[in-house]
Chains A and B, each alone.
Chain A
Amino acid sequence: MRRMCHFRDPDALRRFSVAVIGLAILWPMMQLAQFDIFALFEDRNLVVFSNFLIQFFPPNLQTSFLVLVLKATIETLAMATAGIALAMLMAIPLGLIITYSLSISRIGPASGHRIARLGRYLARMLMLFLRGIPEIVWALLLVRVFGLGPIAGVLAIAITYGGMLAKVYSEILETENTLPARALLILGSGRINAFLYGLLPGASQELASYTIYRWECAVRASVVMGFVGAGGLGQLMDQSMKMLNGGEVSTILIVFLLLVLLADYISLIIRRQLA
């Protein structure tokens, strides 16, 4: 007779304790953040809330204002696009430096890999510094240097997003199948070629869609920076808010939604092209 063997999932306890620990951390955090969803639905709050929302109707569609919005929109788009382009200029070399699978000296490891490791460490620190400081702080700093106007916003986006893009680029490249790049390094190819011929064909779609998502974020970030005088839709919105002109604010918000929609659409087209 065969003995029945009852196997237990050896990972069950570990998974269960991770879930418990997660909850134990999350609960006090919610308390600290004064998270109370029911406050939203109290009668008094509902009235305040709806009174606030009513100000936004109807959106201001006067031609003179729309012309202003159009100009500001173009400025915002230019700011976000220029910012992302500069950010990519920083992020591509940084990302390639810190990607382990493109490291030649790690094979073996060969001589000089300590120096290479130090280089990667410094690049990581630089990225941390760039993205660790919020773009609004960079913008406040840069406005003092360059004065009011979009250039401060562009540079603030370029600096912060350069750090973010570099980090995510290298993470995307690490998750790719690293064998093709390694095979190329073994046949004497350099780092840039190993990237272009070994990693990019598989990663291009993801890299492009993440970059476009960041462009979308840059459009929104440029608004916040407009509040500190960096121009674009943000500055216009700041003025409308200060004059308590809800109609104008809602027009600007509608433009925002359209811009995000546009970003989605561009992303879709580029992904299709690369597929």
Chain B
Amino acid sequence: MRKIAFSFQHVSFSHSNGKEALKNINISASAGESIAIIGSSGSGKTSFLNLIATSLRPSTGSITVLNVDPWSISKGRLQSLRSQIGLVHQAVPIPPRQRVITAVLAGRLGQWPLWKSLLSLIYPVDIAGPQLCLQKLDLADRLFDRCDRLSGGQLQRVGVARVLYQAPHLLLADEPVSAMDPVLSDLTIQCLLEDARTRDACFVASLHAVDIALKWFPRIIGLRDGEIFFDLPATDVSESLLEQLYASERGVLPKQGSANTSS
């Protein structure tokens, strides 16, 4: 049997305002798996990813990430666990005035000793590494540009490059291609899948566009109102199941084309 990447046992999560985002989730995934999470907005996709990323703590139930319970270990061990989890955020969390290379290098801050990260502010300690990551995403020429000179789609790819450079065991992505055109979003998804496959990492992505999920991912999890509606191989996901999943959006399936015009 393969190594477990993460597992949820009876996990529920409520926001501080009392709104329940996830209810009684039981799920597990092993290393090397690639999973897409779909569901209408507000169905709990982001909370689900943040729970795996140890950015949120479950209200009830327990979580195991990379074979440890993140909320019962010491602060130091939690920090080193986090350095093995990479999350591509929905809103790219990069200061506008930072250079692309610095933003990508920041992916390894959890793994570097302090002197190395201080030195890197004076002169980048690694130039080839970030360049390679950016090259995969067709962005190598922007290595020394400032992030506020980039378009939304380019910035989103810098966020992806940071996680590629981090090279985590658990690769999470929250709507990683929402600001990209179909060609670039295919490239980016392929790049993340390839990276996870070669390093035997587990890759979980939430996606707004159903067609991207079905096209690239072997396992699909459908979330509806904070609950797992289905958890199936992509080949078993039927059209009628999807219509039920998106019942709140009047059964209209969000696809790549429509996703780009609406956002």
A interface residues, Cβ below 8 angstroms from B: 104-105, 107-112, 177, 179-180, 182-190, 192-194, 196-199, 201-202
Evaluate whether A180 and B95 lie within 8 angstroms (CB atoms) in the complex, with A187-B107, A197-B117 already known: yes
Contact between chains at A189 and B110 (CB < 8 Å): yes
B197 near A: Cβ within 8 Å?
Answer: no
B23 near A: Cβ within 8 Å?
Answer: no
Please list 23 pairs of residues, one from A and one from B, whose beta carbons are closer than 8 Å in the complex, sorted by A's number.
Answer: A104-B75, A110-B57, A110-B71, A111-B71, A111-B72, A111-B75, A180-B94, A183-B89, A184-B106, A186-B54, A187-B85, A187-B107, A189-B83, A189-B109, A190-B114, A192-B114, A196-B117, A197-B102, A197-B106, A197-B121, A198-B95, A198-B106, A201-B97
**Besides the contacts A186-B55, A187-B166, what 4 more A-B pairs have beta carbons closer than 8 Å?**
A179-B89, A187-B110, A188-B85, A193-B114
Give the residue among A110, A190, A198 with the most B Cβ atoms within 10 A. Answer: A110
B53 near A: Cβ within 8 Å?
Answer: yes
Report which of A105, A110, A186, A189 forms a contact with B53, defined as CB distance below 8 A. Answer: A186
B78 near A: Cβ within 8 Å?
Answer: yes
A190: B residues at CB distance < 8 A = 79, 109, 114
A188 CA / B169 CA spacing, docked (Å): 13
With CB as the reference atom, state the residue of chain A lying closest to B84: A188
A107: B residues at CB distance < 8 A = 54-55
Evaluate whether A183 and B93 lie within 8 angstroms (CB atoms) in the complex, with A109-B57, A188-B81 already known: yes
A189: B residues at CB distance < 8 A = 83, 106, 109-110, 117
CB-CB nearest 8 A-B residue pairs = A188-B110, A188-B83, A183-B93, A189-B109, A188-B82, A201-B95, A108-B57, A179-B93
With CB as the reference atom, state the residue of chain A lying closest to B106: A197
Contact between chains at B75 and A180 (CB < 8 Å): no
Contact between chains at B75 and A105 (CB < 8 Å): yes
A210 CA / B114 CA spacing, docked (Å): 27
Evaluate whether A108 and B71 lie within 8 angstroms (CB atoms) in the complex, with A186-B55, A190-B114, A197-B109 already known: yes
A107 CA / B55 CA spacing, docked (Å): 6
B99-117 at interface with A (beta carbon < 8 Å): 102, 106-107, 109-111, 114, 117
A111 CA / B168 CA spacing, docked (Å): 24
- Tell me how far the C-beta of B101 lies from the nearest C-beta in chain A, rounded to whole angstroms: 12
A135 CA / B118 CA spacing, docked (Å): 35
- Tell me how far the C-beta of B247 lies from the nearest C-beta in chain A, rounded to whole angstroms: 32
Contact between chains at B98 and A183 (CB < 8 Å): no
Interface size for B (C-beta < 8 A) is 40
0 or 1 for each of B23-58: is its CB under 8 Å from A? (1 = yes): 000000000000000000000000000000111110
A199 CA / B98 CA spacing, docked (Å): 10
B84: A residues at CB distance < 8 A = 188
Contact between chains at B75 and A110 (CB < 8 Å): yes
Contact between chains at A184 and B109 (CB < 8 Å): yes
B80 near A: Cβ within 8 Å?
Answer: yes
A193 CA / B118 CA spacing, docked (Å): 8
B253 near A: Cβ within 8 Å?
Answer: no
A187: B residues at CB distance < 8 A = 82-83, 85-87, 107, 109-110, 166, 168
A196 CA / B97 CA spacing, docked (Å): 12
A201: B residues at CB distance < 8 A = 95-98
- Tell me how far the C-beta of A265 lies from the nearest C-beta in chain B, rounded to whole angstroms: 23
- Tell me how far the C-beta of B254 lies from the nearest C-beta in chain A, rounded to whole angstroms: 25
A184 CA / B75 CA spacing, docked (Å): 15
B198 near A: Cβ within 8 Å?
Answer: no
B258 near A: Cβ within 8 Å?
Answer: no
- Tell me how far the C-beta of A74 lies from the nearest C-beta in chain B, rounded to whole angstroms: 32
- Tell me how far the C-beta of B64 lies from the nearest C-beta in chain A, rounded to whole angstroms: 15
- Tell me how far the C-beta of B249 lies from the nearest C-beta in chain A, rounded to whole angstroms: 27
Evaluate whether A193 and B117 lie within 8 angstroms (CB atoms) in the complex, with A111-B75, A183-B87, A187-B107 already known: yes
B166: A residues at CB distance < 8 A = 187
A184: B residues at CB distance < 8 A = 93, 106, 109
B155-204 at interface with A (beta carbon < 8 Å): 166, 168
- Tell me how far the C-beta of B80 lies from the nearest C-beta in chain A, rounded to whole angstroms: 6
B125 near A: Cβ within 8 Å?
Answer: no
Contact between chains at A112 and B75 (CB < 8 Å): yes
A50 CA / B93 CA spacing, docked (Å): 60
Contact between chains at A188 and B95 (CB < 8 Å): no
